[in-house]
């Protein structure tokens, strides 16, 4: 009864040859599978971190829900969880953080940005995309939000002095961050073949306005940033999507097309 008072699901089962009390697992087999599978897809976590989390999940799932774990290619950064914990603490208390940020060279060596000078910014959110975790940071210098991959943030430190924050909506921010490349939101108008309807919905969600529908095409306006990934996406569907506005985006696509022609 004491365990039940703490919301443990204790049940009694009677059988002909045995009977007794048992604890119902917090997660059933299907729930355990979904959560464990999701953990295995987070490539920004090290194998050690994934194993630790899956073992903790196992204790809430009962002894009969053990799953075979698939291994994915992972980075070597062991500090993802501790960095996330620190960043969330900073967000909660309106603290800034400082860190080094790096990229990998062709020889797989770290190359630090800003000549290895520490970034100092205010974190507003932690989000994930395609197995990678990102920190949304606000730069006072550039007066804008930018997404940073947490597995590329090194030696993250708290600046334990509260700062004044501004209004922030994570959903609105992500609308301007195609595949986590952030930029200024602009109205993009495109003409698409009708078989693109589902793809457009999956990529941009419901935040779009369809202005014209014909037998074989439709015209849609949406808010997003003009980023390298948007350009790549438009080129992927070059024969099914035509950019109508803005002129700046059309010019960028023409430049890419001419470069390809000159190259080949």
The C-alpha atoms of residue 261 and residue 9 are separated, in whole angstroms, by: 67
Query: pLDDT digit string (tens) for 183-235?
Result: 777 899 999 999 898 788 878 876 688 888 999 999 999 888 888 889 999 99
Assess contact for 134 and 101: CB atoms under 8 A.
no
Long-range contacts of 228-233 (CB under 8 A, 24+ apart): 228/181, 229/178, 229/179, 229/181, 230/178, 230/181, 230/188, 231/256, 233/178, 233/203
Domains of the chain (ranges plus CATH)? 2-59 (no CATH), 80-168 (2.30.30), 181-263 (3.30.70)
What's the predicted TM-score (pTM) here?
0.62
| pLDDT given for residue 25 in this prediction | 64
Q: How crowded is residue 96: how many other Cβ atoms within 10 Å of its Cβ?
A: 20
* SS3 of residue 62 by DSSP: coil
| 55 has a pLDDT exceeding 60 | yes
């Amino acid at each position: 009864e004491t365990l039940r008072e703490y919301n443990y699901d204790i049940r009694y089962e009677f059988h002909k040859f045995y009977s007794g009390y048992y604890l119902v697992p917090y997660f059933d087999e299907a729930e355990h599978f979904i959560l464990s599978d999701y953990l295995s897809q987070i490539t920004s976590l090290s194998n050690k971190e994934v194993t630790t989390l899956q073992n903790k999940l196992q204790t809430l799932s009962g002894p009969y829900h053990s799953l075979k774990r698939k291994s994915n290619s992972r980075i070597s950064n062991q500090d993802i969880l501790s960095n996330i914990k620190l960043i969330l603490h900073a967000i909660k208390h309106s603290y800034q953080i400082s860190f080094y940020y790096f990229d990998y060279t062709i020889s797989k060596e770290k190359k630090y940005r800003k000549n290895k000078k520490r970034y100092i910014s205010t974190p507003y959110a932690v989000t994930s995309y395609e197995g990678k975790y990102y920190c949304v940071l606000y730069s006072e210098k550039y007066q804008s939000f930018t997404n940073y991959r947490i597995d590329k943030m090194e030696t993250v430190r708290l600046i334990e002095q509260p700062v004044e924050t501004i209004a922030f909506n994570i959903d609105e921010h992500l609308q301007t961050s195609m595949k986590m490349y952030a930029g200024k939101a602009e109205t993009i108008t495109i003409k698409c073949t009708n078989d693109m309807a589902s793809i457009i919905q999956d990529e941009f969600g419901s935040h779009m306005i369809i202005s014209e529908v014909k037998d074989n095409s439709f015209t849609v306006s949406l808010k997003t940033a003009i980023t390298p990934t948007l350009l790549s996406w438009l080129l992927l569907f070059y024969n099914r999507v035509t950019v109508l506005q803005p002129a700046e985006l059309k010019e960028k696509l023409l430049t890419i097309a001419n470069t390809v022609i000159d190259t080949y």
